[in-house]
Amino acid sequence: MQHLLDTTDLSDKQIIQIVEDAKRFKHQRPPHLLRDKLLITLFFENSTRTRSSFEVAAKRLGATVVHLDPSRSSTNKGETLEDTFANLCAMEPDGVIIRHWENDTPQLLADKKMTSVINAGAGNYAHPTQALLDLFTMQEHFGDLKGKTIAIVGDILSSRVASSGIRLFTRMGMNVILVAPKPFMPYSDLPQYESLEEVLDKVNVIMSLRAQLERHASPIFDDYQEYAKHYCITKERLQHREILILHPGPVMRNIDISDEILNDPRCKVLPQVNNGVYIRMAVLKLLLLDS
């Protein structure tokens, strides 16, 4: 039984296999490799992309997917998360795909060894399939990523996308630099900048993150417009530089990225979502069929 709690659970060979399978699935629809498999999705936080992408991926491979909505489940009657999980496992799923606000919830459930646990985003610590789809999107554009530089811009401290991305991209030989106001900056040995302008001539990729001002106790900007003045990815800032723009979504238009850049071919926000389905197909194949 293999879990996916973060990309650190994967060997280099498995990461290469996931990306190769995703590439293959993108160009040729696969047969229903998972036709006998049952997956349960359990999302304790909101999701547009990850939940639907996992469901589409599973269904494209012929698996059956059941969704339990925690807001309408017996957790609302006082049942513990562990008991909810154990009851779902009694129905013999081949995997449970979970999103939770606590960093260690996927690990806690994986330790029970009842079914394969797939982390669909936990706390501010890990979002492994997002990191893999970002890797795939960058590799599609650049080929080898060794020596390429990515700036992660925005609320890095609150971001599980940034945490998983930093671990995976540095492992793949990329240079990662962090751009954020001090209160959004995590403790890190990576190069840190407060000014976006300072890094524009150093980077091949910018990953913009949603400004999560609501997560910070003491406001550091009067409002989102004030934040945007410093960190919004605009045409005026980018000019004609060949920089790939990524964002995990949801994008706050004209705060994280301007309308104009969202329509610019350098911006890969929707290709990221498209690639996410193929990456999740490849992850499900690896965990449920190959492991």
Residue matched to tokens 């606000």: 101
From the CB of 48, what's the least distance to ligand CP, in Å?
4
Considering only residues 174 to 233 of the shown chain, the ones binding ligand CP according to CB under 6 A are none
Distance CA 142, CA 137 (A): 9
- Which of residues 95 and 121 has its CB atom nearest to ligand CP in the complex? 121
- Which of residues 47 and 73 has its CB atom nearest to ligand CP in the complex? 47
Strand pairing report for 64-68 and 192-193: unpaired
- Which of residues 33 and 269 has its CB atom nearest to ligand CP in the complex? 269
Distance CA 195, CA 66 (A): 45
* DSSP helix/strand/coil, 149: strand
- Is the CB of residue 269 less than 8 Å from the CB of residue 246? yes
Contacting residue, 248, 267, 280, 287, with ligand CP by CB under 6 A: 248
From the CB of 280, what's the least distance to ligand CP, in Å?
11
From the CB of 121, what's the least distance to ligand CP, in Å?
5
- Which of residues 106 and 121 has its CB atom nearest to ligand CP in the complex? 121
Site map for ligand CP, 108-127, x if CB under 6 A?
-------------x------
- Is the CB of residue 245 less than 8 Å from the CB of residue 264? yes
- Is the CB of residue 65 less than 8 Å from the CB of residue 58? yes
What element of type H or E holds 276?
helix 269-285
Bridge partners, 257 (sequence order): 233, 253
Per CB under 6 A, the segment of 41-49, 82-90, 175-183, 200-208 that binds ligand CP is 41-49
Report if residue 249 touches ligand CP, rule: CB under 6 A: yes
- Which of residues 71 and 218 has its CB atom nearest to ligand CP in the complex? 71
From the CB of 50, what's the least distance to ligand CP, in Å?
3
Distance CA 249, CA 256 (A): 10
What element of type H or E holds 255?
none
* DSSP helix/strand/coil, 59: helix
**Residue 179 CB neighbour total at 10 angstroms:** 27
- Which of residues 33 and 213 has its CB atom nearest to ligand CP in the complex? 213
Count of residues of this chain found to bind ligand CP when the rule CB under 6 A is applied: 9
Contacting residue, 41, 50, 119, 124, with ligand CP by CB under 6 A: 50
Binding site for ligand CP (CB under 6 A): 47-50, 121, 130, 248-250
